[in-house]
Structure 1
Amino acid sequence: MDGVDRPPSDALNSVFYVRDVERDGDRVRYYGEPLVPRGQLADELRDSFRRAGYRIDLEAGREPYETTVVATPADGRIHGIPWTNLVLFGATMLSTLFVGALVWYYIPYSDIAANPLVALRAWPFTAAVLGVLTAHELGHYIAGRYHGVDVSLPYLIPFVFPFGTLGAIIRMRGRMPDRKALFDIGVAGPLTGLVATVVVTAIGLSLEPMTLPQRVVESSGQVIIFNDPLLLDLIATALGQPTSYADPTKTVHPVIIGGWVGMFFTVLNLLPVGQLDGGHMVRAMLGRRQETLASFVPLALFSLAGYLYYVRDLAINESVGLWALWGVFAIVIAYNGPAHPADETPLGWKRQLVGLLTFGLGALCFLLVPVQLLG
């Protein structure tokens, strides 16, 4: 077990009667019976095993009365330089700089092609977007490490229009120990992301508005409008700042778009389906009844798309396609389902309340028509 301490058997023996031990490479399985309530067993062992470099999973034993404690080296620890994470971070920084300069700072493509360094003018936009996305994923990462779950550092995903990124993800390996860990890891992302989103939005609202180039003001083509979520309006009202201007040559500072991105991704991540944050949270809150709720999510999203298209008479590219696409996506991710914890002990009322409040904050970020075309 190079680079990893041996499992702390003393801590195990105080709460678990060991009948047999089986080694499978670096993994150690202890077969026996808990000396404390099974729901408490993982809590009693987690800290001492984590300090020794292991994560703890509980599984069924070989006999009906047995429990198996599985100690696995925590591969989520950072050994050396995480090159993949750094390369994706660098690529996403470049893509958001380019898209930010072209789309949100109105720098002509010819100017960027002639001197790519002019794209650095968009660094506030890049910092805002990457800040809210990274904060969200680091929330998951910190909660995962706290609970001894093997989690990776965030992987940011570069993209093109309109934000230069598709978001970020982390990877979780191994069995989820219990519903508390599943809930904490799921809720940590939206809450930390929303804190960063509020900060970024407040900063953006306090900055001077952008002055549009004359060529943009005189343009007669279609304009994409990103409508304001209620949370953004509440922050603006609290600060006494406008979110639009009567002067057609003025527009909000691009940093506010970073806040908009944080709110929009919060809504999508809180959908109670599959491996999304909302899926993990509701699985922890409701148990296996989450699967019934998740089955209605695609129908709800398709209904939104149908309402906008047939009742509101919006074009397919004005949020109709967005909700229809996420309806398809929800079907795909619902097939895999959320993580299933080894310990199904229900959550206490405090975590249930935090979950409801988090979904309430997510509702403040929801827009029936997030984007639409004018002109």
Structure 2
Amino acid sequence: MAFWFLLVLGLLTYLMMQHSVARSTRTPVWLLWLVLMTPAFILTGWTLVYGIKQAPPSILILWVSVVCLLLYWLLFYWGRQLPVDPQNQSEANQSQSNVSSTAEPVAVRPIQLAEETQLRNCFPWSIYFIQNIEYRPQAVICRGQLRTMASAAYQQIKDNIEREFGDRFLVIFQEGTNGKPFFVLVPNPQAAKQNNQRDAEKITKPGLALLLLVATLFSTTLVGLRIAGFQVTQLEADFTLFFQGLPYSLGLITILGTHELGHYLTAKFYKIRATLPYFIPVPFFLGTFGAFIKMRSPIPHRKALFDVSIAGPLAGFIVTIPLLLWGLAHSEIVALPEKIGMLNPNALNPKYSILLAILSKLALGSELTVKSAIDLHPVAVAGFLGLIVTALNLMPVGQLDGGHIVHAMFGQRTAVVIGQISRLLLLMLSFIREEFLLWAIILLFVPLIDEPALNDVTELDNKRDLLGLMSMVLLLLIILPLPQALARFLHI
């Protein structure tokens, strides 16, 4: 069993690294994979030799994990420092693909060599001293030396290009792998559209959004019925039992919907074209696979990227807390079993999470003791899932909300490194706490490369940096177990 688990995990890890890491470093993927999988190899080898009943020394796993983490980081960064000519092509391709992912490309006349003088005149030497112009089939790369503040330079050059070329191009400002910012002009997918308002109305599809919402309400209510202790077959005798599933259903849909509305409304504030929230109904598991919105136009700058990204988890979390507190207050105290799972709603150990333990103590008071578990009320189940959704979205990996947040805070290159380290740490943690294994596998399927903003160079202000750090603290409060010292203080 251990061998097959290692084989599947190894294959998934290698495929994901081949898909994402290979584009971020010149270090061979197989070498990074070998370092990443070393703790798993050692743990599996120990199990094969000594059996599952004899656990390996914690100090062994800890030291191996730390050494592999440092070695992985060094190899990854060493590969990023290798001077290779094709980086220009990859940067252009990345900029073009990131813009084209938001809308269908249209036929736009590429810039002619005769227009190069006009283009050069768009770059005043006192703002951005242009040194080289590279022509691609669907992009023009302008490299030079930044002479002023990034935000002022981008706005001035963008205005100049729009004055000379109209709306033919989207102007992208990115930081290269050498640390120097460069401009990329790519065809504007909206340039040939005659009626942007009509197109914006098309992408919202309110009828589809409403249909999916109703379907998700039905599927989550059926799941909520089972959580409340009833069987679906009992509906044949008494259909009014169906309403027993509504507390869970309405609680979960409120949390997920508020999360996505946070993204949607903030996107609208920045005039980013976005779809309405679409729910994904399923007749099993939680009754839904969540909800999503799709943005159909580029994000203007890192400030907008940060605000849109953090608005979802923040809005969802604000709604989750009162629902969870109410649900916990109406839950029952039960004896703590010898062995329980993290997602057992009938006997949940609150000490699995720092934040959950604090909220449980606030809601239940002295009734909650060292030997207590919680039989969750359906609303509390929805609130607990809200915490999990918040934590998963705040993971600082690639295209998750947390990945967007660290991208906006530190830039894309640093965000890729943070994402790699986060995936590695969670994978190692899953060998100690098996409930994180599913999370670790999910993160392996999340691409590390995040879409850049049009102005991806200008940094955030201090207030947003602080808010971003607080969101990472919130993530740790949700996923880390309650320390023994704090457990004694709370008397649980």
What residue is the counterpart of 2:469 in the other structure? 356
- Partner Cα separation in structure 2 for residue 274 and residue 138 of structure 1: 21
Deviation of 1:114 after TM superposition, in Å, equals: 4.0
Q: Do the aligned residues in 2 keep the contact of 1:244 with 1:251 (CA within 8 Å)?
A: no
State the AA in 2 paired with 1:171: K
Alignment check: 8 A CA contact 1:273 1:297 kept: yes
Aligned equivalent of 1:268, options 376, 382, 392: 392
Number of the residue aligned with 1:18: none
Matched residue, 1:255: 379
Deviation of 1:162 (Å): 4.4
Look up the match of 1:149. Answer: 272
Counterparts of 1:358 and 1:164 in 2: how far apart (Å)?
Answer: 28
Shift of 1:301: 2.1
Residue pair 2:396, 2:403 contacting (<8 A) in 1 also: yes
- Deviation of 1:77 after TM superposition, in Å, equals 4.7
**CA shift for structure 1 position 331:** 2.4
Q: What letter corresponds to residue 445 of structure 2 in structure 1? A: V
**Structure 1: distance between partners of 2:407 and 2:268:** 20
Q: Write the deviation string for residues 9-60 of structure 1: whole angstroms up to 9, x where unpaired.
A: xxxxxxxxxxxxxxx799xx997848997625669x9xxxxxxxx9x95337
- Shift in Å at residue 235 of structure 1? 2.8
Structure 1 residue aligned with 2:453: 341
Distance 2:465 2:183 in 1: 31
Structure-2 separation of matches of 1:267 and 1:279: 12
**Hey, what does 1:302 align to over in structure 2?**
427
- Cα distance in 1 for partners of 2:257, 2:293 equals 10
- Residues 303-341 of structure 1: CA deviation (Å, up to 9, x unaligned): 122123xxxxxxxxxxx2x53333233222125x22211
1:291 has 2:416 as partner: yes
Question: 1:176-215, CA deviations, whole angstroms, 9 ceiling, x for partnerless residues?
Answer: 2111111111111111111001121122234x44699xxx
Could you tell me how far apart the structure 1 residues matched to 2:427 and 2:204 are? 46
1:230 and 1:107 mapped to 2: Cα distance? 32
Structure 2: distance between partners of 1:232 and 1:65: 47
| Local SS of the residue matching 1:118 | helix
5 Å matches for 1:136-285? 136-206=259-329, 208-209=330-331, 224=344, 225-228=347-350, 229-239=353-363, 241=365, 251-285=375-409
Asked whether the equivalents of residues 58 and 69 of structure 1 are also in contact (C-alpha less than 8 Å), the reply is: no
Which secondary structure state, in structure 2, belongs to the residue aligned with residue 262 of structure 1? helix
Greater relative contact order: 1 or 2 (C-alpha under 8 angstroms, separation 6 or more)? Answer: 1
* Unaligned residue ranges in structure 1 (runs of 5+): 1-23, 46-53, 309-319, 370-375
* TM-score, scaled relative to structure 2: 0.54
Q: Distance in 2 between matches of 1:98 and 1:244?
A: 30
Q: 1:124 to 1:211 in 2, by over 3 A?
A: farther
Deviation at 1:243, TM superposition (A): 7.8
Alpha-carbon distance in structure 1 between the residues aligned to 2:363 and 2:123? 55
> Residue 85 of structure 1 aligns with which residue?
209
Aligned to 2:229, the other structure's residue is in SS state coil
Q: Which runs of 5+ in 2 are unaligned?
A: 1-105, 112-117, 128-148, 159-166, 174-181, 191-195, 483-492
- Please give the per-residue CA displacement for 1:269-327, whole angstroms capped at 9, x wherever unaligned: 1111121001100111110211111122332222122123xxxxxxxxxxx2x533332
Moved more, 297-306 or 69-78: 69-78
| Deviation (angstroms), 1:160 | 4.5
Contact kept in structure 2, 1:236 and 1:242, CA below 8 Å: no
Describe the SS at the equivalent of 1:173. coil
Change (3 A) 1:34 1:361: farther
Higher helix share: 2
| Cα distance, 1:303–1:94 mapped onto 2, change above 3 Å | same
> Contact 1:298 / 1:330 at 8 angstroms: preserved in 2?
yes
SS state at 1:167 partner: strand
| Range that drifts further, 126-135 or 34-43 | 34-43
Indicate the residue corresponding to 2:252 in structure 1.
129
Counterpart secondary structure, 2:171: strand
The structural deviation recorded for 1:78 is 6.8
Alpha-carbon distance between aligned partners in 2 of 1:68 and 1:299, rounded to the nearest angstrom: 35
Q: Secondary structure of 2:451's match?
A: coil
Q: Is the 8 A contact 1:92 1:158 kept in 2?
A: yes
Q: Counterpart in 1 of 2:443?
A: 330
Structure number with larger C-alpha Rg? 2
- Taking a change above 3 Å as real, the CA distance of residues 130 and 58 of structure 1, as seen in their structure-2 partners, is same
Q: Structure 1 residues 242 and 258, CA, compared in 2 at 3 Å: closer, same or farther?
A: farther
* Shift in Å, 1:251: 3.3
Give the partner amino acid of 1:326.
W
Instruction: Tell me, in whole angstroms, the C-alpha distance in 1 between the residues paired with 2:414 and 2:393.
Output: 19
- Output the amino acid matched with 2:220: T
Q: Distance in 2 between matches of 1:240 and 1:263?
A: 18
Determine helix, strand or coil for the equivalent of 1:325.
helix
In 2, Cα distance between equivalents of 1:162 and 1:66: 45
- Stretch of structure 1 that moved more, 75-84 or 292-301: 75-84
C-alpha separation between the residues in 1 aligned to 2:250 and 2:367? 20
Cα 1:80/1:156, change in 2 over 3 Å: closer
SS in 2 for 1:255: helix
Q: Tell me the CA shift for residue 80 of structure 1.
A: 7.7
Give the 3-state SS of the residue equivalent to 1:202 in structure 2: helix
Q: Secondary structure at the match of 1:200?
A: helix
1:166, 1:255 → 2: CA distance? 18
Seen in structure 2, the aligned counterparts of structure 1 residues 34 and 177 have a Cα distance that, compared at 3 Å, is farther
Q: Aligned to 1:275, what secondary structure does the other structure show?
A: coil
